[in-house]
Amino acid sequence: MAARIRKKHQDEVRERIRASQLVNRLEDHVLGEVEMTSTQVNAALGLLKKCVPDLATVQHQGDSDHPFEMRIGWQK
């Protein structure tokens, strides 16, 4: 049997598939298509937190002497 050349890549793909399956299952539960107990929901959310990064921890830090300014509007 041939050795796996890209084992790390295969592991990453498997992890993404598992995460998408958790999301699909939770989405079906929210839409009322699948019944889940509170324990199952908590377990799925816990596993999802391990697979998908939490975007709430992202923080932008800049130079206080040269603050970043963003303007959104229509150009004239």
Answer left, alpha or beta for residue 38, where phi above 0 means left and psi between -120 and 50 means alpha: alpha
Q: What is the pLDDT of residues 21-73, one digit of tens each?
A: 999 999 999 999 999 999 999 999 988 888 877 766 666 677 778 777 778 88
- The per-residue pLDDT for 57 is 64
Q: Could you give the CA distance from residue 48 to residue 19 in angstroms, rounded to a whole number?
A: 6
Domain encompassing residue 21: 1-76
Domain count, the chain: 1
